[in-house]
Amino acid sequence: MKTALGIFKRDVKRLKTNIIAVIVLLGICILPSLYAWFNIAAVWDPYGNTGGIPVAVVNEDKGSSLEGINVNAGEKIVTNLKGNHQMGWKFVDKDKAMDGIKEGDYYAVVYIPKDFSEDMISVATGTITRPEITYYVNEKKNGIAPKITDKGVEAIQTQVNSSFIGTVTGYMTDILKVGEEKASVTKDDIVAGINKTLDNASADLSALSSGISSYQSTIDSAVSLIDANITLAGSVDDSLSGAENRIEGDLSKLKEQHAAIDADKFPDIDKLLTKVENGFDKCLDDLKQAGSMSSDAQDVLTSLKSSLNSVSDSLTSTKSAVDGSIERIDTFRNNEDSLNISDGFVDIINKIISNPKSVSEFMASPVKISTEKVYPVADYGSAMAPFYTTLAIWVGGIIMVAIMKTRVREDDQLRNITPRAAYIGRSLIFIITGLVQALIIGLGNIFFLGMQCKNPLLFMVTCLITSFVFTLIIYTLTVSFGSIGKALCVIWLVLQVAGSGGTYPIEVLPQSFQYMSHFMPFTFACDAMRETVAGVYTPDYITDMLKLLCFVPLSLLLGLVLRNPLRRLNEFFEDRLEDTKFMG
């Protein structure tokens, strides 16, 4: 131990007498902090500065109208975006937008087509077409920007959906109002409205039933006429001509009455009347054929009579169905218990009518998310500070072994230096330099950058312990394996940056990286620093620090025991590298 301390004292004495060495050592102490500070400052609030990301917006929406109300959803989107600073929205025409995204002027393009508003209100027309906004994104320009612009477009979609639902709900609440002069409705108002609808339906069905009776009378007359004409084969042409004219007139009347029927309201009756018309058409075709085939007139007339009888039967079935519907409506109306409307239902209707704006706002966004942050972090820079601080401390260790010598040489004062004494003696200057590096990095994070830190004292202690562990690992690998050890330190750095969970959650990394993270000091140093930054959960902090300190005995085992068998091989490699005059 005395020899080890002697090595350390000699190193300090040499520093005092060499101003250049002092300047270099100061640079070694400061350089890692610059690495950490620049990286942390660069990512301090990236998601708060997305207003500088240019995104083109093309609005070609021509608008539409519904019940006399003009609707232009595209224009409303543009108006809202002009007050939105989440992105750098640029309102241009389509040609400029498409050229711009190819040239890299825009990260993305939002295109609103001509029929956007028309598709928005198609739900009220019966022919529903989903409105569509086309989103073009240039993923080549930057790896992160597309993820940010994706969120901006999702916000537009949410805004449009909420606006649409709110508008439709407001329109429905207006429909529920009985009149401008009435502030609320009663159970009698609702019953009266239902009864009025039923009265209208009953009147329409009664008119249809009367029309069917008239059609049957016409068909009966036509059948009688055909019976008379069957026995008059010699004068069939004249008789058929008269029947044809009569049926054409009746058919014209039937089509006029059929056109007055609401097919949507009475679909079954519409189908039956269509069948009746088809029957009349067949009768006319048969009459015309009979006029040109006098020799077969009797057979044709018999077939015609059969067709008319079939039509008559269809009309009878139709009339029976219509009369049955009228009877059921009358029965329903006469039964007061059929309209058993609860007071609660009436109360809900009145609440909707009394405050339609609140109802439409509720329907547009029925669920409110209340966010309660556990261990809140003020900004992205503070959230990333543990990772970049850990990274800077490791980089500081690599800088030390790249510039400072790990091999201890003998002189007149120190002779017969054992490998263990050399290892311990030279490690002291490395460890102290590493602690100074960590001290500068940690204090700069807190006081220079203004990083959030719930427990500054514990954060500084964590930085110092991390530096001690990292420096010992890097120093030991370099002492044990020389230049190969330095390369191992760089390789390990690369693996830890990718697989320690410092940037992305460890759970989203490939399975191999998740496994390796358990053997990486970065993992435990980052997690321990996060505890001090956002709020300490003592069991986790202690666990992380104990896992980090496990690398100390492993390093000492390699540096003090296992290094000896490798010493000659290491010296051989070092000598061969020095022989090149440009390596080693």
Give the 3-state secondary structure of residue 39.
helix
> Taking residues 311-332, what's their average pLDDT?
76
Percentage of the chain with pLDDT > 90? 28
525 or 241: which leads in pLDDT: 525
Q: pLDDT tens digit string along 428-445?
A: 999 999 999 999 999 999
Tokens of 127: 């022919």
pLDDT-based confidence at 179, cuts 50/70/90?
A: very low
Q: Answer whether residue 175 shows pLDDT above 70.
A: no
Among 19-28, 176-185, 356-365, which stretch is predicted with the lowest mean pLDDT?
Answer: 176-185
What pLDDT score does 282 carry? 75
> Taking residues 178-185, what's their average pLDDT?
49
SS3 sequence of 10-38: HHHHHHHCCHHHHHHHHHHHHHHHHHHHH
167 residue type, one letter: T
Neighbouring residues of 361: CB distance < 8 A, sequence distance ≥ 6: 166
> Taking residues 202-230, what's their average pLDDT?
74
Is-contact 311 279, C-beta < 8 A?
yes
What pLDDT score does 453 carry? 94
395 or 341: which leads in pLDDT: 395
Q: pLDDT tens digit string along 404-422?
A: 988 877 776 777 778 888 8
Q: pLDDT tens digit string along 112-158?
A: 999 988 887 776 665 677 888 888 988 887 777 777 777 777 777 66
Q: pLDDT tens digit string along 45-69?
A: 877 777 888 999 999 999 887 666 6
Q: How many C-beta atoms lie closer than 10 Å to residue 410's C-beta?
A: 10
Tell me which DSSP letter residue 139 carries.
Answer: S
Is-contact 552 546, C-beta < 8 A?
no
Q: Answer whether residue 250 shows pLDDT above 80.
A: no
pLDDT-based confidence at 11, cuts 50/70/90?
A: confident
Q: pLDDT tens digit string along 70-102?
A: 778 888 888 888 888 888 889 999 999 999 999
Q: CA-CA distance, 462 to 360, in Å (whole number)?
A: 54
What pLDDT score does 555 carry? 94
Which helix (H) or strand (E) covers residue 427, if one does? Answer: helix 419-443
Q: Answer whether residue 178 shows pLDDT above 50.
A: no
What pLDDT score does 462 carry? 97
What pLDDT score does 173 carry? 52
Neighbouring residues of 340: CB distance < 8 A, sequence distance ≥ 6: none
Tell me which DSSP letter residue 499 carries.
Answer: H
Torsion angles phi and psi, residue 143, rounded to 5: -75, -35
What pLDDT score does 409 carry? 77
301 or 356: which leads in pLDDT: 301
pLDDT-based confidence at 181, cuts 50/70/90?
A: very low
Q: pLDDT tens digit string along 462-510?
A: 999 999 999 999 999 999 888 888 999 999 999 999 888 888 888 888 8
Among 10-19, 395-404, 446-455, which stretch is predicted with the lowest mean pLDDT?
Answer: 10-19
Whole-prediction pTM:
0.64
> Taking residues 451-457, what's their average pLDDT?
94
Q: pLDDT tens digit string along 195-208?
A: 776 777 777 777 77
Q: Mean of the per-residue pLDDT values for the chain?
A: 79
Is-contact 319 281, C-beta < 8 A?
no
Q: pLDDT tens digit string along 251-303?
A: 677 677 667 666 666 666 677 777 777 777 777 677 666 666 555 666 766 77
**Most confident option among 201-215, 246-260, 442-456:** 442-456
Q: pLDDT tens digit string along 156-171?
A: 766 666 655 555 555 4
Q: Answer whether residue 320 shows pLDDT above 50.
A: yes
Domains of the chain listed by start with CATH number: 2-45+379-579 (no CATH), 52-176+353-364 (3.40.1710), 188-336 (1.20.120)
> Taking residues 310-329, what's their average pLDDT?
77
Q: Answer whether residue 365 shows pLDDT above 70.
A: no
pLDDT-based confidence at 323, cuts 50/70/90?
A: confident
Is-contact 131 120, C-beta < 8 A?
yes
What pLDDT score does 206 carry? 79
Q: Answer whether residue 546 shows pLDDT above 70.
A: yes
